[in-house]
């Protein structure tokens, strides 16, 4: 671009983009001072006419982009087909698109290079399109300080909204507007850009540096008061570039105005804070942090894990996937060690499907891969066009899914949560919810990886720091305490607020009394009981459960089987399982041993589903009903010494058999559960692999279909434009046929009418319905009986035929021209019959014959005059020199008259022009002519010219014009169709009448009487010659 730092606007469009571009350029003035580069999805197999289409829409020059072309203001450049377009040093760079591996994201490629080349002077606009192309590009432009826009629905608003919606979902769009408003927005930004150039570049004097330093301190205090983050230590140039970008967005012309806006609008402080945290969207962003993760965390994740284990990683808020694939590369490198490596699963989630589609594709412009080492780029990516695509071995480690970290249940048993630069967008309340959610999702001792501006200071009880500088934390283990989700459960309450009256009030009082009675009976006299959920969690305790449930050591929790006495656990487990499977009550009688003052005895365990509680989760009621002593009264040893021994042995044997049965049942249940879990796990793994494979195939098919659809849409738009052009051409031809008024009939080889012009209808009496009929079936006014035979000759010879027809009854003359109708292969596919009305030409030919006859007559007359002049001049002159001089002058006088007649096309010549032409050589101040405007016929003009010539010649030799004082007055008038002309000389030498008539008088007398049908009279008084002429007008 030029040194004026004008904006370079990149416009990305795809399916439905032509109407959007039409709306954009319709509102653009011709002197915006900006350059525009249009990048679209084009088929490489057909020539694109997009630049021609845009050229008809834009008020500024439009051309196809050429390699090395300098980008100039007030010009539009359109990417051609089969090329990948980038920009470097203000010049366009074109490279061939590999036909085997086509570039599917040309907009991202160009936007990324535009961000690198133009920085804060770059503008990226995403218009209608059916893909996510452009999303990564606008991220790069905004990270470099440029401006981003996306089309929204209004006016020409996007026929295919996927591309602009994907860009909007990324959160990096400054202006979401209809295309009709974008031109005005760009002009506002352009007008405000020049004063901010020095601010963004950091170029200024000491006073300007002091002003910027003070502004940075003020803005940093405002940012700190709103966000709690201190930006006073930021590099001033980086800081002021971010400030200048926001000033362009909000149209603040000065730093003082922007500081005032920050004070008045907290929302703008938050917007600036987010802009401050934007970094270039590279892989391995903050390389030192990733290096710390690789050296201090990943080795501990792989420690003591083999091929049968799985490392689970969760990346919430993954956006377009750079962080996900960066982690996958680090983990993949760890898996390549000599020992058998565990499996790795990376769960990448985001709330927006549009940005997830970008991440799933794994396709990134080269400009976003600067931080990837060349060996990693070679190993983990493959090049396609101007982009790099993540290889399958990395892609297989990642599972992308829509998920909200705020409202959806989290993942569990996670080893590493990487959540970088997400918490900064959440308020304190949501952070207090999300961080405990991460703790719940992590295994004990799992790791949390946060962004450089994030922390867990308010949750030190949940996480311990591993590397404070790079924000790596480890989940604290609380001694086996149950981890609960931080979700509040609200109970429904009656909030009607309506006070009952009368009997209803008494009924409610009785109801409350009954409730109190039942509550007391249940509290004091009912058996001990608890309510448990399906996951064995106790949700309600009754009183008197202390005999059956005890609190274990460590952190408190409410797991039923951990709280129950040891001898009850097996039967409780079996009963709960039976109730879960059958939905019916399950009962067990279990002996309880004597323990800490509680006598031994039997207890009846009842587990039954709890109905009518109104919740979505199934609950179960567990009743503990004591049945008395577990053994019969001991016999008297005195009466039967062996009875006590036998009874004790029998009781122990019975108890042992019961314990063995329960143990065997428990073992079988565990083995069955393990087998089922293994089978389920294998099925899930298989289903997951099939789903991933199907998803990849669907993604590839979707991309191909989208690409095909965009190509078809572009082709359809171009075809629609071509149809419009054909319609215009057809309309032009129709108007041309009507305007030329030439009769033309198009015939095929069978003389069938294919088309005809309106003028042909009057020759053949044709109508529109006659198209498709043989011409020979029509009767017309054309008198050409040999027409069919002549058409056959044209077919045979391939040469044109012309025939001039005899005049018809109206005296009309026609020329018939028969031309072969040439096809594309130069064959003769028909005949074009052209009938030209040449009546005017025939009339012109007749007129020409008349003129030729007239010319012959006049030439004969002129030659006769010339011969007479020559003969008389020869007789009246004494020497050859005098003869030659006199003859030439007289012929020159004739020539002047002929010249006047030639200029008037031999029609009429005025007396005034004739006299002035002859006399102007002697000076207009000495020859005075006046009279009415009278025009003469050619013959009269020639004769009068000869008379005037003779008079001026004699006056120059002997009369008034022979000295310097004489003058000539020529006056004429018209009366009764007669011209009366008087020639009077004064001031010359004294005049004496001649002895006899000279040749000059004879010549004038002959011209007047015989050529002009007039009379002439001449007197010679001493003061000067007086001549009088009278002749009729038109004589």
Ranked by mean pLDDT, the top range of 28-42, 185-199, 713-727 is: 28-42
Query: Mean pLDDT, to the nearest integer, of 483-495?
Result: 44
Q: What is the distance between the terminal CA atoms of the chain, rounded to a whole angstrom?
A: 81
Q: What is the pLDDT of residue 280?
A: 46
Q: 506: pLDDT confidence band, cut at 50, 70 and 90?
A: very low
Tell whether the model's pLDDT for residue 892 goes beyond 90.
no
Q: What is the pLDDT of residue 499?
A: 44
Q: What is the pLDDT of residue 329?
A: 93
Contacts of 776 (CB under 8 A, 6+ apart): 751, 788
Half-sphere exposure of 91 (CA within 13 A, CB side): 8
For the domain bounded by 886-1032, which CATH number is listed? 3.30.565.10
Q: What is the pLDDT of residue 504?
A: 46
**Which is more confident, 922 or 864?**
922
Query: Mean pLDDT, to the nearest integer, of 662-674?
Result: 71
Q: What is the pLDDT of residue 521?
A: 72
Tell whether the model's pLDDT for residue 863 goes beyond 80.
no
Dihedral sign (CA 384, 386, 388, 389):
negative
Q: What is the pLDDT of residue 495?
A: 36
Decide: helix, strand or coil at residue 604: strand
Q: What is the pLDDT of residue 464?
A: 86
Q: What is the pLDDT of residue 447?
A: 94
Least confident of 570-574, 803-807, 833-837: 803-807
Tell whether the model's pLDDT for residue 449 goes beyond 90.
yes
Query: Mean pLDDT, to the nearest integer, of 450-460?
Result: 81
236-274, pLDDT tens digit by residue? Answer: 777 787 788 788 778 777 888 888 888 888 888 887 877
Q: 546: pLDDT confidence band, cut at 50, 70 and 90?
A: confident
How far apart are the C-alpha atoms of 73 and 147, rounded to whole Å? 18
How far apart are the C-alpha atoms of 1018 and 1002, rounded to whole Å? 12
Least confident of 763-767, 1000-1004, 1012-1016, 1024-1028: 763-767
Half-sphere exposure of 566 (CA within 13 A, CB side): 5
Q: What is the pLDDT of residue 75?
A: 92
Q: What is the pLDDT of residue 1003?
A: 77
Cβ-contact 929, 915 below 8 angstroms:
yes
How far apart are the C-alpha atoms of 385 and 85, rounded to whole Å? 10
Query: Mean pLDDT, to the nearest integer, of 277-281?
Result: 53
Chain mean position to CA 186: 15
421-445, pLDDT tens digit by residue? Answer: 778 767 677 788 888 899 988 988 8
Instruction: Write the DSSP symbol of residue 490.
Output: P
Contacts of 259 (CB under 8 A, 6+ apart): 215, 218, 219, 222
Element (H, E) at 599: none
Q: Does domain 8-192 have CATH number 3.40.50.180?
A: yes
Q: 891: pLDDT confidence band, cut at 50, 70 and 90?
A: low
**Which is more confident, 394 or 48?**
394
How far apart are the C-alpha atoms of 404 and 414, rounded to whole Å? 17
How far apart are the C-alpha atoms of 1013 and 1033, rounded to whole Å? 10
Residue linked to tokens 């998920």:
403
Q: What is the pLDDT of residue 478?
A: 55
Tell whether the model's pLDDT for residue 818 goes beyond 80.
yes
Q: What is the pLDDT of residue 488?
A: 38
Q: What is the pLDDT of residue 249?
A: 78
Residue linked to tokens 């770059």:
122
Q: What is the pLDDT of residue 505?
A: 45
Tell whether the model's pLDDT for residue 126 goes beyond 60.
yes
Instruction: Write the DSSP symbol of residue 742.
Output: -
How far apart are the C-alpha atoms of 1029 and 49, rounded to whole Å? 79
Query: Mean pLDDT, to the nearest integer, of 214-235?
Result: 76
**For strand 75-78 and strand 62-64, is the pairing parallel, antiparallel, or unpaired?**
parallel
Contacts of 638 (CB under 8 A, 6+ apart): none
Fold of 741-837: Beta-Lactamase (3.30.450)
Query: Mean pLDDT, to the nearest integer, of 601-608?
Result: 87
938-972, pLDDT tens digit by residue? Answer: 778 878 888 888 888 888 888 888 888 888 999 99
User: Residue 752 forms beta bridges with which residues?
Assistant: 774
Half-sphere exposure of 315 (CA within 13 A, CB side): 24
Question: Backbone phi, then psi, for 388, in 5-degree steps?
Answer: -120, 140
Query: Mean pLDDT, to the nearest integer, of 802-826?
Result: 77
Dihedral sign (CA 459, 461, 462, 468):
positive
Residue linked to tokens 């309506």:
498
Q: What is the pLDDT of residue 1030?
A: 92
Tell whether the model's pLDDT for residue 479 goes beyond 60.
no
Question: Which architecture, in CATH terms, is 282-475?
Answer: 3-Layer(aba) Sandwich (3.40)
Least confident of 50-59, 720-729, 811-820, 901-910: 901-910
The order of strands in the sheet holding 442-450 is 398-402, 343-350, 310-316, 414-419, 442-450, 472-475, 463-467
- Give the tokens for residue 257: 């105005």
Question: Backbone phi, then psi, for 651, in 5-degree steps?
Answer: -65, -40
Question: Backbone phi, then psi, for 466, in 5-degree steps?
Answer: -105, -45
- 520-628 CATH, one of 3.40.470.10, 3.20.20.70, 3.30.450.20, 3.40.50.720: 3.30.450.20
Q: What is the pLDDT of residue 647?
A: 65
Q: What is the pTM of this model?
A: 0.47
Catalytic residues: 14, 41, 133
Least confident of 171-185, 366-380, 417-431: 417-431
* Reduced 3-state DSSP string for 914-975: HHHHHHHHHCCCCEEEECCCCEECHHHHHHHHHHHHHHHHHHHHCCHHHCCCCEEEEEEEEE
**Mean pLDDT value across the chain:** 78
Tell whether the model's pLDDT for residue 315 goes beyond 90.
yes
Tell whether the model's pLDDT for residue 498 goes beyond 70.
no
User: What percentage of the chain carries pLDDT values higher than 70?
Assistant: 78
């Amino acid at each position: 671009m030029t040194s004026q730092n004008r904006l370079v606007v990149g416009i990305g469009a795809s399916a439905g983009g032509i109407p959007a571009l039409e709306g954009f350029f319709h509102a653009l003035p011709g002197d915006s001072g900006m350059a525009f580069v249009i990048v679209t999805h084009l088929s490489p197999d057909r020539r694109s006419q997009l630049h021609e289409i845009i050229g008809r829409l834009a008020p500024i020059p439009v051309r196809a982009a050429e390699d090395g072309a300098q980008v100039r203001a007030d010009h539009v450049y359109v990417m051609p087909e089969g090329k990948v377009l980038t920009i470097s040093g203000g010049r366009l760079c074109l490279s061939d698109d590999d036909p085997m591996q086509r570039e599917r994201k040309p907009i991202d490629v160009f936007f990324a290079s535009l961000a690198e080349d133009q920085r804060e002077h770059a503008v990226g606009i995403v218009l209608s399109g059916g893909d996510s192309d452009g999303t990564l590009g606008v991220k790069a432009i905004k990270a470099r300080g440029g401006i981003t826009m996306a089309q929204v629905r209004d006016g020409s608003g996007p026929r295919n909204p996927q591309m602009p919606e994907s860009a909007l979902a990324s959160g990096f769009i400054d202006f979401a507007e209809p295309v009709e408003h974008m031109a005005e927005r760009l002009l506002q930004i352009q007008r405000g850009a020049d004063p901010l150039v020095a601010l963004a570049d950091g170029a200024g004097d000491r006073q300007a540096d002091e002003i910027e330093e003070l502004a940075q301190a003020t803005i940093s205090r405002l940012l700190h008061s709103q966000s709690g983050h201190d930006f006073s230590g930021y590099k001033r140039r980086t800081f002021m570039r971010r400030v200048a970008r926001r000033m362009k967005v909000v149209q603040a012309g000065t730093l003082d105005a922007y500081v005032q806006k920050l004070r008045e609008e907290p929302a703008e402080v938050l917007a600036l804070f987010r802009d401050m945290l934007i970094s270039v969207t590279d892989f391995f962003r903050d390389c030192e942090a990733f290096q710390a993760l690789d050296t201090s965390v990943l080795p501990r994740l792989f420690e003591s894990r083999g091929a049968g284990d799985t490392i689970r990683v969760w990346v919430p808020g993954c956006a377009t996937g750079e962080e996900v694939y960066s982690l996958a590369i680090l983990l993949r490198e760890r898996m390549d060690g000599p020992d058998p490596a565990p499996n790795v699963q990376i769960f990448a989630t985001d709330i927006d499907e549009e940005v997830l589609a970008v991440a799933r594709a794994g396709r990134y412009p080269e400009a976003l891969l600067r931080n990837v080492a060349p060996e990693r780029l070679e190993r983990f990516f493959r090049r396609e066009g101007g982009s790099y695509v993540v290889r399958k071995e990395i892609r297989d480690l990642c599972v992308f899914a829509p998920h909200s970290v705020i409202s959806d249940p989290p993942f569990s048993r996670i080893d590493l949560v990487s959540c970088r630069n997400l918490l900064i967008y959440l308020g304190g309340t949501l952070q207090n919810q999300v961080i405990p959610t991460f703790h719940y999702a992590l295994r004990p001792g799992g790791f949390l990886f946060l962004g450089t501006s994030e922390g867990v200071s308010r949750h030190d009880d949940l996480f311990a720091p591993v590397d404070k500088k790079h924000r790596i934390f480890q989940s604290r283990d609380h001694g086996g305490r149950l981890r609960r989700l931080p979700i509040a459960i609200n109970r429904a309450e009656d909030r009607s607020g309506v006070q009952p009256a009368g009997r209803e009030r008494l009924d409610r009082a009785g109801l409350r009394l009954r409730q109190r009675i039942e509550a007391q009976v249940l509290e004091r006299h009912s058996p001990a009981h608890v309510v448990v959920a399906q996951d064995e969690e106790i949700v309600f305790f009754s009183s008197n459960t202390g005999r059956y449930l005890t609190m274990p050591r460590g952190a408190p929790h409410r797991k039923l089987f951990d709280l129950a006495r040891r001898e009850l656990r097996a039967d409780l487990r079996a009963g709960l399982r039976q109730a879960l499977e059958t939905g019916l009550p399950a009962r067990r009688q279990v002996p309880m041993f004597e323990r800490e003052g509680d006598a031994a005895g039997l207890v009846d365990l009842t587990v039954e589903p709890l109905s009518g509680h109104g919740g979505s989760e199934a609950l179960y009621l567990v009743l503990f009903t004591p049945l008395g002593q577990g053994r019969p009264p001991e016999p008297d040893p005195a009466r039967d010494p062996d009875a006590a021994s036998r009874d004790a042995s029998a009781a122990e044997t019975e108890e042992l058999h019961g314990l063995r049965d329960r143990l065997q049942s428990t073992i079988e249940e565990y083995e069955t559960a393990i087998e089922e879990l293994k089978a389920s796990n294998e099925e899930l793994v298989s289903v997951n692999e099939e789903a991933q494979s199907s998803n990849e195939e669907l993604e590839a098919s979707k991309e191909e279909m989208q690409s095909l659809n965009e190509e078809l849409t572009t082709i359809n738009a171009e075809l629609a434009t071509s149809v419009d052009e054909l319609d215009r051409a057809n309309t032009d031809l129709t108007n041309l046929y009507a305007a030329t008024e030439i009769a033309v009939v198009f015939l095929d080889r069978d003389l069938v009418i294919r088309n005809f012009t309106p003028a042909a209808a009057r020759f053949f009496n044709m109508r529109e319905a006659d198209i498709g009929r043989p011409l020979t079936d029509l009767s017309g006014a054309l008198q050409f009986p040999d027409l069919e035979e002549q058409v056959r000759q044209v077919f045979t010879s391939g040469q044109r035929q012309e025939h001039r027809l005899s005049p018809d009854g109206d005296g009309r003359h026609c020329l018939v021209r028969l031309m072969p109708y040439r096809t594309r292969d130069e064959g003769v596919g028909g005949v074009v019959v052209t009938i030209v009305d040449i009546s005017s030409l025939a009339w012109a030919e007749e007129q020409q014959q008349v003129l030729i006859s007239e010319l012959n007559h006049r030439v004969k007359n002129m030659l006769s005059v010339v011969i007479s002049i020559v003969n008389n001049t020869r007789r009246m002159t004494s020497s050859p020199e005098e003869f030659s001089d006199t003859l030439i002058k007289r012929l020159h006088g004739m020539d002047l008259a002929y010249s006047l007649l030639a200029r008037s096309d031999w029609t009429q010549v005025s007396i005034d022009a004739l006299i002035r032409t002859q006399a102007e050589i002697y000076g207009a101040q000495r020859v005075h002519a006046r009279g009415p405007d009278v025009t003469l016929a050619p013959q009269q003009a020639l004769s009068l010219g000869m008379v005037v010539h003779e008079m001026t010649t004699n006056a120059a030799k002997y009369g008034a014009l022979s000295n310097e004082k004489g003058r000539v007055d020529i006056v004429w008038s018209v009366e009764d169709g007669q011209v009366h002309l008087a020639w009077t000389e004064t001031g010359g030498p004294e005049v004496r009448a001649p002895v006899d008539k000279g040749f000059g008088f004879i010549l004038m007398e002959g011209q007047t009487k015989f050529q002009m049908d007039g009379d002439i009279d001449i007197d010679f008084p001493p003061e000067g010659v007086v001549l009088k002429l009278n002749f009729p007008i038109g004589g």
